[in-house]
Amino acid sequence: MNRDKSEALFKKAINLIPAGVNSPVRAFRSVNENPFYVKRAKGAYLYDVDENEYLDYVSSWGAIILGHADEGLVNAIKTAVEDGTSYGACHPGEIDIAELIIEAFPSIELLRLTSSGTEATMSAIRLARGFTKKQGIIKFRGCYHGHVDSLLVKAGSGLATFGTPDSGGVPEDLAKHTYVAEFNHIETVKRIIREHKDIACLIMEPIMGNMGVILPEGDFLKDVQEMCQQSGILLICDEVITGFRVTYGGAQHIYNIDPDITCLGKIIGGGFAIGAFGGKRRIMESVAPLGDTYQAGTLSGNPVAVRAGVYTLRYLRDHKELYDLMGQRIELMRDYILKIAKKYDIPYYINATTGMFTGFFSTGSVNDYEAAAACNRKAYERFFKQMLSEGIFFAPSQFEASIVTLCHKEREISKTVDSYDKVFRAMASQL
């Protein structure tokens, strides 16, 4: 596969942009590869500047669900752009998207739009602190909630990839207010609550997506919610990845939990930069100008992003049966892949839910940070490179979810399964 043009662009980029990228994982460093440069995208595929085709399992890190350049969405965007790209003023689309989100999430009574998921989690943390008059935060090791100072402690995703649990530039006085529990280990939450009385909130991904997909076990989520309620701690659900991906109504709908605040992003903009945080009315009324917790953004509720989001959410609302179909396709692919792994004696384990899955090079199940971190990263590096040469683009990190869109259909499943067979056959002699 020729990538000469991408290589030339990368050489130019590293003299202009830190490491040549605008988000760390895009550098491909954990797989010792250089990035390719995308020229266009359509359906389930990316096309680079060298005209190579890639079946895309990154899907803009979860922002794409209808498929790239969906015709209906493109038409909606064109109309929106013709009406102006930014107003800095109120417009009807803000109400439309708020109604759609509130209808889908019973836990949300009021919401505020932001320009990213990071802004949403940052604002939710500030709101929780302002509402409770406490400073402490509980998060789970390996969960990544955006590059927020208070949350860059034992984070996953890019930070786990580079083996850097804490970011430079985060003041110790701020980080000391963040307490780290273990996902799927309720006793770690109990201990923190018992030992610290200054906790404003607990923030969690109900399904972990930034150490790969890790599903909650048993009553773990309900137990967390009960502990928060008993201790006067606000429960924040970070559904930036899972919201509208795993079902219409998010993971909290599947697991029947009722968070105080929910953070959203990715899909609600149909591929445009947007986020939102919302929750109980009594809490959200603390946000300025009603209350004293300040949050603002010139591009919050950007009209183009909102119109794209309204189109996407209405489509998903009107075609909810597609979630079942997407889930069935992932399960079918999972079964085929595991049979292939067994055939070639490759230690491989898959966690999957609707819209997302992760394959771990592991001899056992992966249900927490320790199990994920113990996976064979060298094997993943070989897997990534060989799959890329087969024209399949997985995330350049073991610690990310593989994202499926509505355009990942029978043809794409067959291509993926066939490539797994070829790559695992080649890897069998290397492990």
pLDDT the model gives residue 168 = 72
Catalytic residue among 45, 57, 144, 369: 144
Under CATH, to which class is 4-69+321-427 assigned?
Answer: alpha beta
Catalytic residue among 134, 139, 154, 266: 266
Nearest 5°: phi and psi at 84?
Answer: 115, 145
Task: Determine how many CB atoms are found less than 10 A away from the CB of residue 409.
Answer: 15
* H/E stretch holding 369: helix 369-373
pLDDT the model gives residue 152 = 65
pLDDT the model gives residue 164 = 36
258 is catalytic: no
Q: What is the pTM of this model?
A: 0.93
- Given the candidates 3.40.605.10, 3.40.50.300, 3.40.640.10, 1.20.1090.10, the CATH classification of the domain at 71-318 is 3.40.640.10
How far is Cα 281 from Cα 2, in angstroms, rounded to an integer?
55
Q: Which amino acid is at 133?
A: K
421 is catalytic: no
Domain positions in the chain are: 4-69+321-427, 71-318
Nearest to 338 by CA among 276, 398, 420, 245: 420
Give the residue ranges of the chain where pLDDT is below 70: 149-150, 152-167, 431
pLDDT the model gives residue 169 = 74
pLDDT the model gives residue 158 = 47
* Token pair recorded at residue 308: 């794209």
Nearest to 266 by CA among 414, 401, 363: 401
Catalytic residue among 56, 238, 260, 368: 238
385-395 burial by CB neighbour count: b if 16+ within 10 A, else e?
bbbbebebbbb
266 is catalytic: yes
The label of the residue with tokens 């599947």 reads 254
